[in-house]
Structure 1
């Protein structure tokens, strides 16, 4: 059984620390745990466009809802705990 990735997210944007309300970043969220393409989830970007993304890739680049990867701690931490 595959893990459920609904609510996971990742952001694209400039090469600077992520800030949740920074308009320079485009947040992409998993909105369906499946897709028309085998092995993919469905992503919705900030403009509302949906597209498939590999389950393996979201596991590598995404974070659970409300969390963000902290490279120093090598763990997911609450999004409010990040420091710039």
Structure 2
């Protein structure tokens, strides 16, 4: 019976070490992500407004885009009003 208790204790200790390792790993990931965000903020900050506009960003939206990604509305291409007009019925029908 003592062998079983020893095995359970060892399994619990192993589980605790695994939890600590994953916590440490998560902390390292968070710190590494913060370093990447700050590095990319400096790189984007060095661009002029025209270059930021070309990639679809403004000075105010840089940090949000780096941390959380861009929203779906920002990813959609601009729609040309003339090109998006509905086709005449004769071109849409299948005959």
For the criterion TM > 0.5, the same-fold answer is no
**TM class by shorter-chain length?**
under 0.3
Which structure has the higher relative contact order (CA within 8 Å, separation 6+)? Answer: 1
